[in-house]
Amino acid sequence: MIIKKIYIILILILCQNIRAEEMRALWIPAWDLGSREQISRILTKAADADFNTVLVEVRFRSDTFYTPNRDNCDFPNPDSTSQLLQEDFDALQYIIDLCYVFDLQVYAWLTMYVATSNDLAKCSLNNPWYRTPHWITRNVNFEKMEAREKEGAYLDPGLPEVQNYLYNVVLDVAVNYDIAGIQLDYIRYPGNLWGYHEESFARYQQEVRKPSPANWQKWRCDQVTDLVKKIRRGLKSHAPEVELTAAVVSDPEKAVEDYNQDWLLWLRKGYVTRVFPMNYHAADPLYQKAVDKIAKYGYEPQTVMGIRAWSDSGGYTVEDINEKISYSWRKGIFSYALFSSTGLENGGYWKNLNIRKSR
């Protein structure tokens, strides 16, 4: 009986610790970081609403909202200032300074393989599209991916030069700024129709003894995972206090099959400490089905549920957002992130938002 009581007490303590680690996060996209006034307004609202974490997109499309190689120059970063900035200032440092006052944790949200905007006019001449055009991935006919496709043209994950470049970008931010974590976004292939860069395909044929569709799929997954592992090792050595997280396709099976993103493996191996499934379904049944599927894998404490916080037609309400937060809680997933600050503003959601927390 005594042993049983001790066991129950330990379980309660564990549950309290898990809830104490809950993350109430807000994604702040690049277009909301253009000026000091924009940033100040959003961070004030986030603090007032009881968020405890902000995910700030300080790398949009191979550009910077920070100062590359600011102090430590060990990780060469060739990227240049984003054209979305309306003022000449270090947006990331400004955010860090304000969040210290507001008691908000800052995670640097960095897009990875997607290199360009759909509109090349919004990309500087220093963008990889111009700087290293041979890095852009190819389709099944070995044709260069166009900027107008998908979210923009992607770099090919099978190229070692691409992996080194992205590794240096991430480590540059991590060692030069006082941030709580890194969030990797678009850390995946654009889809099964791309990834056929001639050099990558030649590497695959050299490294895989028996080429087959299954081995080609696995090899592609390995390229993405290898970059995540490399970044994890780099952070452990050079910025051990910085947490590594990733925004991921919400369905883990679809993530592997369609995008070569094996995020369950990343959790199992400890390559990332948290994942943010982008469960952006507006309809409650679809959202709940995705939550149920994620919860069955047993990584609830390491899951930050990504929740839709925007409306395309006006039919999506703040009550819909609140209910989604509550449903995740009922399934034992206490951390969540709302996408995005733009959606909250445009939808008029700030006033009646119910930021659920245990403390």
CA atoms within 13 A on the CB side of 168: 17
User: What pLDDT, on the 0 to 100 scale, is given for residue 166?
Assistant: 98
Superfamily for 24-347?
Glycosidases (3.20.20.80)
In the numeric block, the tokens 């995540």 are attached to 228
Query: How many residues in the chain?
Result: 359
CA 110 to CA 85: how far, in whole Å?
Answer: 16
In the chain, the amino acid numbered 166 is: L
Are the C-beta atoms of residues 227 and 272 closer than 8 Å to each other?
Answer: no
Q: Which two tokens stand for residue 79?
A: 């990227």
**Chunked in runs of 10, what are the mean pLDDT values of the chain (359 residues)?**
47 40 94 97 96 98 98 97 95 98 98 97 94 97 96 98 98 98 98 97 94 96 98 98 98 98 98 98 96 96 97 91 96 96 96 78
Instruction: Specify the pTM.
Output: 0.93
User: What pLDDT, on the 0 to 100 scale, is given for residue 358?
Assistant: 63
User: What pLDDT, on the 0 to 100 scale, is given for residue 354?
Assistant: 85
CA 359 to CA 343: how far, in whole Å?
Answer: 26
Q: What is the pLDDT of residues 233-271, one digit of tens each?
A: 999 999 999 999 999 999 999 999 999 999 999 999 999
Are the C-beta atoms of residues 178 and 96 closer than 8 Å to each other?
Answer: yes
Are the C-beta atoms of residues 177 and 92 closer than 8 Å to each other?
Answer: yes
Q: Which of 107, 126, 129, 108 is nearest to 118 (CA)?
A: 129
Ramachandran region of residue 285, left (φ > 0), alpha (ψ -120 to 50) or beta?
alpha
User: What pLDDT, on the 0 to 100 scale, is given for residue 163?
Assistant: 98
List C-alpha distances in Å: 251 to 280, 286, 329, 331. Answer: 11, 11, 19, 16
